Every structure is written in structure tokens, then in C-alpha cells.
Structure 1
Amino acid sequence: MQRPARRHFTMLREFHVADFFTLGNAACGVGAVLLAMLYMGSGDVTHFYLAAALAPAAFAFDVLDGRIARARHEHSALGRELDSLSDVISFGVAPAALGFAAGLQGGWDVAALVYFVCCGVSRLARFNVTAESLAGGSGKVKYFEGTPIPTSVVLTGLLALAASQGALGPSLWGGSFALGPWQLHPLALLYVLSGSLMISKTLRIPKLGSPRFQCNK
């Protein structure tokens, strides 16, 4: 009965200090998703604001884990995978859930949200497999191919601004219109734009202050 417990604690010992900050990022993302669902059930805009506020909190954890990893020289494959999975939740799934809760619930809206998340997942996977070649033997990635996934905090900020102006649900900015069998809110096109920029291979953005080498910011 004690062996599983020992294995459990052995896994915890494999975590570096930076990894716990990465988990803080993931926790913020999960919290945002749950609060978005809570808002849909309660209609209390406070829940929406709290969900949106967790986006910059996740970003702060995302920055701190890299700084701590550099300061403590804690680079690992485990840290890289934790970072990728956390970013998918906080900067991919959570913004999509918040957009759906805000009123992007038409058929084309949902397609746009799914596309956005898939682009984020693809963006992170591509970085992880190309980081070494992008580093060019220097050990540091000098630029991003496509926009980093944390840039989705801009979308979350826009939704929070819309909420502050009472522009959620039927009052969502830009309204909606029928396109074939489904409804489309023009605001959903911002998710399409964000996702497309993330997977672009022609857009190169200089990297300022590298977090962990394997990181996928």
C-alpha cells in the first residue's frame, strides 16, 4: 500500500520551483473556464469579470515561470510539456469559453472558436518541435514564427470591455447575421484572425527576454 504513495511523492520531487508557477498558470485557465460556465448559469456579470481577470493572472504566472527557470537554471522536458499544456488551457480553451459565454454561440461562431483553439494547439506543438532549429545552436530562440499564444489576452480584454458596457449576449458588439444555415457574430472573426496569426510561418516576431529554452511563449 505504501509503494504508490512513494511513487506519488517521487513525482513531486521531480518538479522544479518554476513548474509550480506553470501549474499556477494552468489553474488560472481552469478557473476561467469554470467561471465562464458559472456566468452562463447565473447571469451574474461578476463571474464574467472574474473569468476575464484570470487571463492576466495566468500571463503573470507564465512570465514568472520562465524568469524563475532562468534564474535557477531549471530547464527540463517536463517543464516544457507543462508549459505547453498550461498555455493551451489558459490562452486557448479559456478565451474560447469566455467568448462562448459572452454570446458567440452561433454555428459559425463555434466554428471560429474551435479553429482558434486548434491553431493555438498547433502553434505550441510546432514551437516545441522546432525550438532547437530556431535557436540555431545558440541555446536561445531569437524570434517567434507567428504570434505567441498568450497574445490571446487581448481577446479576453476586449470581452471584459464589452461586459463593462453591457455588450454581452444579444447586445454583443457588431450584432449577428445569418450566413447560410448558421448565425455569425462579426466579433468571432477576431478569433479567426488571432488563430491565423499564431500559425503563420511568414510572420516573425523578435523574442525579447527568453523564458525557458523549450518554452513556447
Structure 2
Amino acid sequence: MSRKRKKRRKYITFKQILPNMITSGNILTGVLSLVLAWHGHILPAAWLVPVAGIFDFMDGKVARTLGGSSSFGVELDSLADVVSFGVVPAMIFYSAYMKGFWGVVGALVIAFYVLCGALRLARFNVTSFCSAFQGLPIPAAGTFLAAFVVAGYALPPLAAAAIVFCTGGLMISNLRYSNFKMLHARNLSKTKTSALAILLVILFVIFRNAMPLAAVSLYVASGIIGFDWGRWLATDDDEATEEI
């Protein structure tokens, strides 16, 4: 006689659902941004990219706080990032600066950027890390491109193409970038955090609409010059100095 095996139902708890709901907000924001860009509303579309970044930060924060991390959530987060920080900023940048640039060349440049973003996420999912990221994280890369539009800068097509190409290259590079997710209340220096907050306020006063570009440029440049913001902000060197 063959015994019937009872299938066990795997119930998904709320602490596992909530982070995925926040990740869905990331996807929704990215799609809305893409629709706005399609209809020619480039500036509001660009502003939605950092909003998607807030969702991207919060889903991981909530998952770690509630203990609701899962492999499903990791994959969903990567798919969301490809849309919100890969395809969307590329289309915004193309629409703002490179439409019709040397025929199909502009399209190939943004395709290269999206491909680099996908490769960056794939490498991230199979690489164990402790503090520093390997290569420029795609949320920072997407925000960097969108910040040019927010700042209202008029870029020549060739300069825009060079920025997109170099940003894509940074994502697949071996440069180390700070991982702020390793920081928490117990190892965060209040003095340095206050100093950073004052710096951001000064940047806002000086640059106004260009403040997001100035802020994210500091992060992009930090990997190139080898400066670790996470290590600088942390008081616990044991956690901040571990590398991939």
C-alpha cells in the first residue's frame, strides 16, 4: 500500500509580508516614474527615483528589524531595483539629454548602463559581504543620473553619454563602496552623524535643487578615492572594517 503524504502548508507570516509590500512600493514608484517620462514629464519622473530609494532602504530595514528576511524577498528586491534604478533612470536620462544622439548610439549607451546594473545585482545576490559593497550600488547609480535632471543642468549629448557609460562601469567595478545598512544606534557616532547632517544642510543652502546631485556625488566619488563613509561614521571598528 502506498501511503499518502500529507502536504504541509507553509504559512507566510506578517513579518515576511511587510518587507515585500514595501518592495512593491519600490516597483510601483518606478513604473509611475517611467509613465511620467513617457509622457514628457521628466522632472517629476526624476524626483520619483530617490523616492523609490526610500522604499528600497526601508524594505531591508524592516526585514532586518522584524527578522522577516527571505530568499524570495531578496529576489523581489533585485527585480524592483532593475526597474527603479536601472531602466527608469536610463530612460529619463535618454529622454532629457540623448534622444537621437548619433542614431542608435544613445540607445546602446543606456542599454549598457541597464546591463551593468543587472550584472551588479546578480553579483550582489551570489556574493557574501559584511560591510563594503563591491561596485557602485545600483540605487546610488540611478539616483546619480536622476539628480542631474533634478538639478536642471543642460548636458551636451556626448557628456551625458560619457556620464552614463562611466556610471555603468562603476557598478561592475571592484571598487569598494560604503554599506550604511551595517550602521545602527549602537555603533553610530553621534558627533560624526551630526557633522554629516550639517554638511547636507550646507549643501542644500548652497545648491538647492542641485543638492541631491552634490550629496550622491560625494558617495560616488568616495569609492574612487577609497573613502569609506560607513567606517568613518561607525564607532565600532570591528563591524565597519570587515570586507568582502
Both proteins in one fold, TM over 0.5: yes
Q: Does 1:50 align with 2:44?
A: yes
Aligned match of 1:138 = none
Q: Does 1:69 align with 2:63?
A: yes
Listed one character per residue, the Cα deviations across residues 34-88 of structure 1 (whole Å, up to 9, x for unaligned) are 111011xxxxxxx222101111110010111111111100110110011000000
Q: 1:18 to 1:187 in 2, by over 3 A?
A: same
Q: Does 1:90 align with 2:84?
A: yes
Structure 1 residue 13 displacement after superposition = 7.5
**Runs of 5+ unmatched residues, structure 1:** 1-9, 40-46, 135-140, 168-172, 177-184, 212-217
- Counterpart amino acid of 1:120? G
- Out of 106, 110, 113, the residue aligned to residue 109 of structure 1 is 106
Q: 1:210 to 1:27 in 2, by over 3 A?
A: farther
- Counterpart amino acid of 1:99? F
Partners of 1:28 and 1:117 in 2: CA distance: 18
Structure 1 residue 160 displacement after superposition = 2.2
Aligned match of 2:221 = none
- Counterpart amino acid of 1:204? R
Partners of 2:114 and 2:182 in 1: CA distance: 24
**Runs of 5+ unmatched residues, structure 2:** 1-10, 184-244
Q: Which one scores higher on RCO, CA 8 angstroms, separation ≥ 6?
A: 1
Q: Does 1:188 align with 2:170?
A: no
Partners of 1:207 and 1:153 in 2: CA distance: 16
- Counterpart amino acid of 1:193? C
Answer whether contact 2:16 2:68 (CA < 8 A) is retained. no
- Counterpart amino acid of 1:148? P
Q: 1:12 to 1:30 in 2, by over 3 A?
A: farther
Answer whether contact 2:23 2:80 (CA < 8 A) is retained. yes
Answer whether contact 2:15 2:63 (CA < 8 A) is retained. no
Partners of 2:57 and 2:163 in 1: CA distance: 25
Aligned match of 1:25 = 26
Partners of 1:119 and 1:155 in 2: CA distance: 14
Q: Count the aligned residue pairs.
A: 169
- Out of 109, 116, 120, the residue aligned to residue 117 of structure 2 is 120
- Counterpart amino acid of 1:156? A
Q: CA RMSD in A?
A: 2.1
Structure 1 residue 15 displacement after superposition = 5.2
Aligned match of 1:78 = 72
Partners of 1:35 and 1:124 in 2: CA distance: 25
CA radius of gyration, larger in? 2
Answer whether contact 2:16 2:63 (CA < 8 A) is retained. no
Partners of 1:37 and 1:13 in 2: CA distance: 36
- Counterpart amino acid of 2:25? G
* Identity in percent: 36
